[in-house]
Amino acid sequence: MTQHTSPALFELRDITVEYGDFTAVDHVSLSLPRGEAIGIVGESGAGKSTLARVAAGLIAPATGQVLLDGEPLAPIHRTREQHRRIQMVFQNPDSSLNPSHSIYRILSEGILLHRTLGASGVRPSRAAITQRCLELLNMVGLSDADIFSRRPQAFSGGQRQRIAIARALAVNPDVLIADEPTSALDVSVQHEILDLLAALRQTQGLSLMLITHDLGVANALCDGIMVMRGGTSVVHKSTEEFFADPGPQYAQDLLAAARSVSITPQSV
Ligand code: ADP
């Protein structure tokens, strides 16, 4: 990872999350420079999703701060603009796409709410919104305008995840938090979604916080890796350094286990 003197685009500082008297995330920090991707890796229950939810402003931490361009954000009640800049894609698109809304409505809602088209504060024309929705569908590899009137159930899991990604991109975010974005999908389409995220990172200049239990996926997509275990950060290094020397025994074991199921580090 490159060294930066300016504040990181996105930073989590000393985050702790408690569910009752159980500490799910314990004083975890990370910073994400603009355009880079960090993989948060670890076994189930490590606290990865909880950390992602704090980053997205969905739950409030007991300690710590989330910063954007060096500015601390309110834990939950962020401004509309701050919400726009940090978008999230969930494991299961069904939980995030309203089944009774058309794809057109799903994609255009964010555009209308955040006024990301046309002059600032002015409601964009229907033609401009339609054009933008088509562009978004193209970006995620869905190019048929017939799609607009259909509802999420008309699509496969992989297509639904593409729609969820298109919706996140509709508001031109700076940071995309993707929480196990392929775990609910058939193996055959997992690679397609990962390739899509990798391509979008390049073309849209997105910074990516990728939650995954799969070190091979983190290796293929991310500049840096943070391993979590029991709510703590075990190691946080550049991906290159991690694969050369994972550091603590737990990280070594995780890497050995990943290699034994023949994850090839160079491919997604
Ligand atoms: P991961 O994403 O790494 O699988 P999670 O962040 O989902 O881990 O969960 C971390 C720990 O917090 C787990 O032990 C989980 O059971 C617990 N946990 C997660 N959500 C809640 C909740 N809403 N209430 C109580 N415990 C929770």
CATH code at position 124:
3.40.50.300
Q: Is 47 in the pocket of ligand 1 (CB under 6 A)?
A: yes
Structural domain for 221, as ranges:
8-260
Question: Tens digits of per-residue pLDDT, 75-123?
Answer: 999 999 999 999 999 999 888 899 999 999 999 998 888 777 766 667 8
Centre of ligand 1 from the C-alpha of residue 50, in Å: 6
The verdict on residue 138 lying in a domain is: yes
With a 6 Å cutoff on the Cβ, whether 46 touches ligand 1 is yes
- CA 116 – CA 135 distance, rounded (Å): 14
Residue nearest to atom 16 of ligand 1 (CA): 45
168 domain residue, yes or no? yes
* Structural domain contains residue 215: yes
Which ligand 1 atom is nearest residue 228's CA?
3
Which residues on adjacent β-strands are paired with residue 65? Answer: 13
- Residue with the smallest CA separation from ligand 1 atom 12 is 24
**Lowest mean pLDDT segment, chosen from 21-25, 48-52, 95-99:** 95-99
Q: Which of 16, 19, 228 to mutate to test ligand 1, by most ligand atoms within 8 A of the CB atom?
A: 19
> Residue 161 domain-assigned?
yes
- E strand intervals along the chain: 10-19, 22-32, 37-41, 63-68, 71-72, 86-89, 175-179, 207-212, 224-229, 232-238
Query: How confident is the model over 123-173, as pLDDT tens digits?
Result: 888 899 999 999 999 999 998 778 899 999 999 999 999 999 999 999 999
Only one residue has tokens 């938090």, namely 177
CA–centroid distance, 45 to ligand 1, in Å, is 6
Pairing relationship of beta strands 37-41 and 63-68 according to DSSP bridges: unpaired
The answer to whether residue 268 is domain-embedded is no
Which band of pLDDT confidence, cut at 50, 70 and 90, is reported for residue 267?
very low
**Closest protein CA for atom 25 of ligand 1:** 19
> How many domains is the chain partitioned into structurally?
1
258 lines ligand 1 (CB under 6 A): no
Q: Is residue 111 part of a domain?
A: yes
Q: Do the domain assignments include residue 91?
A: yes
Instruction: Quickly count: other Cβ atoms within 10 Å of residue 110's Cβ.
Output: 21
| One-letter amino acid for residue 104 of the chain | Y
Please report the atom of ligand 1 found closest to the CA of residue 50.
Answer: 6
Q: Ligand 1: distance of its center to the CA of 135 in Å?
A: 37
* Ligand 1 atom nearest to 25, measured from its CA: 10
Single pTM value for the model: 0.92
What sign does the CA torsion over 142, 148, 154, 158 have?
positive
CA-proximal residue: ligand 1, atom 21 (nearest): 19
